[in-house]
Amino acid sequence: MKPIDRIVTNNPAVQTAYQERFPLEFITGGYLDVLIKVRDRVHAGAVILTHPLSGSVKPNETPYKSIVLAQGTKLDWDSLQLIENAITVVRGMLKDDIKRMHDPGFDLDFQTIDLSLLSSAINDKE
Amino acid sequence: MRLELGKILINDVQFGQTTKVENGTLYVNADEIKQLVKADERIKSVEVELARPGESIRITPVKDVIEPRVKLEGGGVFPGVISKVDTVGSGKTNVLKGAAVVTTGRIVGFQEGIIDMTGPGADYTPFSQLQSVVLVMDVQDDIAQHDHEYVLRIAGLKVAEYLGEAGREVTPDEVEVFETLPLLDSVAQYPDLPKVAYVQMLQSQGLLHDTYVYGVDAKKIIPTIIYPTEIMDGAIISGNCVSACDKNTTYHHQNNPVVHDLLAQHGKTLNFVGVIITNENVYLADKIRSSDWTAKLAEYISLDGVIISQEGFGNPDTDLIMNTKKIEQKGIKTVIITDEYAGRDGASQSLADADPLANAVVTGGNANEVIELPKLDKIIGDISVVDRIAGGFDGSLRQDGTILVELQTITGATNELGFNKLSAKTE
């Protein structure tokens, strides 16, 4: 399996947990901004290692997303298709959103879930 | 493997001095339940409430629904979790049919899941039809989310075991027998019928997204073969708390309609040879490995067709399509069962992934559809979360007590095992 090159995330909890262990690109922005940054990286040759859509927590609920990338040598078409599909889905879900409640009290919960999904993937591989 | 399921029909639930079943009524000693639950010191408080079909009650946020059962022969209930890890799926099991344990309690702020016992919401969830013993639980302040989920999961299973014991000495109203033979015997038994298996995908991505097989976290399994009756008999339990409409509760696993209906067709239209269970992980490499194994097992047992059921939405759509594509490429026909997130107008693409080989689909409905639920007299749990749950939005909870939500808020509404009433047909 390809080694981890970097984590792209907008989740402060992931930043705290992993910035010492992996190169980490922190995005100040939303779920979609993370996906768009990952797409830029894919066009520059990166390979996506973790799925760009979250488990069952929907992109219009959680603001947090973290994606693990590896280094590639040329454009990886599978990664490109995956990220383009994900962007389409997320745009579709955000379109319907009627001003969702954003309670800062839940921020930590969403951060924890995103961190947990990421660590359950990463820890397994180490 | 041969299982006798004895159904004790329950049509009422009442509090009583002794927990017992008498003339179709389940009597519940609430103090004993509280004592049982509070034996775990991490649980700060527990309330026991009853909810019956037709009552003006809304339960939220629902974590799990469990059917109370007792094993008379052939292992114990929920092996590897509550009982010893002995293989289940054979022997005798008594079921309190029509009763359920429902667990509720806030694990994270945005948690979800509504069961209405009456009104329009009740039509969308099969659990509105059950005589329910509801556990409202709260844990000590310093419990992290992982432990919180675990504590509530185990409490629900323990109470289901406790209630199931009330059926130990009761003569069942009906006994159903299910049997699956070893593979070669099954093939020899109906040589002319198409060999069909069921591929069940289990949600396994991490915190609040987990499923356990004989106590093993499903993300740590490689796809494997299991007898249909093992699933019917409690081998798989749910630790899945998110996506209320299409998560599989423990009750769903115990009563998996795909398993039930394939067994009903066995020897008639098809030869149901077994179940392949697989997982839904975060790492793409795991998805590739698991779908490779699923397809390889399907080929190895020389199947003619499979039914594949999914759990969840988004990321698992990739597992679904990988499984379907790779199995079809082995020359094996597939039908998938899923649900849709097609937007409130139903016009968006339903799944996050697709492939021309995935050409036979059964849908459990569109989770984004908006419905209005009336005010009900009694809330069990915590209604304040409704604005924040999946499918809720600012203003969901109106001043007059009515709520406007997407269908995805309702427990089991678009279930991807087909344990619901919604679907769609095309010409």
Residues of A with Cβ-Cβ distance to B110 under 8 angstroms: 57, 61-62, 106, 109-110
Coil/strand/helix, residue A67: strand
Smallest CA–CA distance from A59 into chain B, residue: B314
- Per-residue pLDDT, B426: 75
CB distance B282–A55 less than 8 Å? yes
User: Looking at residues B130-152, what average pLDDT do you find?
Assistant: 93
Q: How far is B6 from chain A (nearest CA, A)?
A: 35
Three-state SS string across chain B, please? CEEEEEEEECCEEEECCCCEEECCEEEECHHHHHHHHHCCCCEEEEEEEEECCCCCEEEECEEEEECCEEEEECCCCCECCCECCCCCCCEEEEEEECEEEEEECCCCCCCCCEEECCCHHHHHCHHHHCEEEEEEEEECCCCCHHHHHHHHHHHHHHHHHHHHHHHCCCCCCEEEEEECCCHHHHHHHCCCCCEEEEEEEEECCCCCEEEEECCEEHHHCCCEEECHHHHHCCCEEEEECCCCCCCCCHHHHHCCHHHHHHHHHECCCEEEEEEEEEEECCEHHHHHHHHHHHHHHHHHCCCCEEEEECCCCCHHHHHHHHHHHHHHCCCCEEEEEEEECCCCCCCCCCCCCCCCCCCCEEEEEECCCEEEECCCCEEEECHHHCCCCCCCCCCCECCCCCEEEEHHHECCCCCCCCCCCCCCCCC
What is the number of other CB atoms lying within 10 angstroms of the CB of residue B188?
11
Determine which helix (DSSP H) or strand (DSSP E) holds A84, and give its type and residue range. Answer: helix A77-95
- The reply to whether B388 touches chain A by the CB within 8 Å rule is yes
Mean predicted confidence (pLDDT) in B111-139: 94
Set B122, B196, B197, B241: catalytic member: B241
CB contact under 8 A, B282 and A95: no
Residue linked to tokens 């009330």:
B166
For residue B266, pLDDT beyond 80:
yes
CB within 8 Å: A120 and B240: no
Note the pLDDT tens digit of each residue in B364-373.
999 989 999 9
Instruction: Using the predicted structure, report yes or no on whether residue B387 has a pLDDT greater than 70.
Output: no
Q: Is the pLDDT of residue B72 over 80?
A: yes
Instruction: Output B171 or A94, whichever has higher pLDDT.
Output: B171
Of the listed ranges A43-52, A81-90, B304-313, the one predicted with least confidence = A81-90
Query: What's the mean pLDDT in B184-212?
Result: 95
CA distance A113 to chain B (A): 6
- What are the structural domain ranges in chain B? 2-175+191-409
| Average pLDDT of every residue of chain B | 93
Q: What is the tens place of the pLDDT at every residue in A81-93?
A: 999 999 988 888 7
**pLDDT class of B392 with cuts at 50, 70, 90:** low
Average the pLDDT over A78-107 and give the result. 77
Nearest chain A alpha carbon to B109:
A106
Using a CB-CB cut-off of 8 Å, the residues of chain B touching A125 are 283
Query: Between chains, do A51 and B282 touch, taking CB under 8 Å as contact?
Result: yes
Q: Which residue has the tokens 């775990």?
A: B40
User: Which range has the worst mean pLDDT, B39-48, B100-109, B301-310?
Assistant: B100-109
pLDDT at B367: 92
pLDDT band at A8, cuts 50/70/90? very high
Residue A102 clears pLDDT 70, i.e. is over it: no
User: Residue B279 has what pLDDT?
Assistant: 97
Residue of A49, A54, A62 lying closest to B315 (CB–CB): A54
Amino acid A60: pLDDT: 72
Here the ipTM equals 0.87
User: If you measure CA to CA, which chain A residue comes closest to B389?
Assistant: A61
Using the predicted structure, report yes or no on whether residue B127 has a pLDDT greater than 70.
Answer: yes
- B146 or B427, higher pLDDT: B146
Question: Per-residue pLDDT for B211 more than 60?
Answer: yes
Which of A118-122, B13-17, B391-395 is predicted least confidently? B391-395
User: What was the pLDDT predicted at B103?
Assistant: 97
Beta-carbon separation of A101 and B146 below 8 A: no
Query: Closest partner residue to A56 among B247, B281, B368, by Cβ?
Result: B247
If you average pLDDT over residues B76-84, what whole number do you get? 97
Residues 136-195 (B) with a CB less than 8 A from some CB of A? 145-146
Active site residue B241: yes
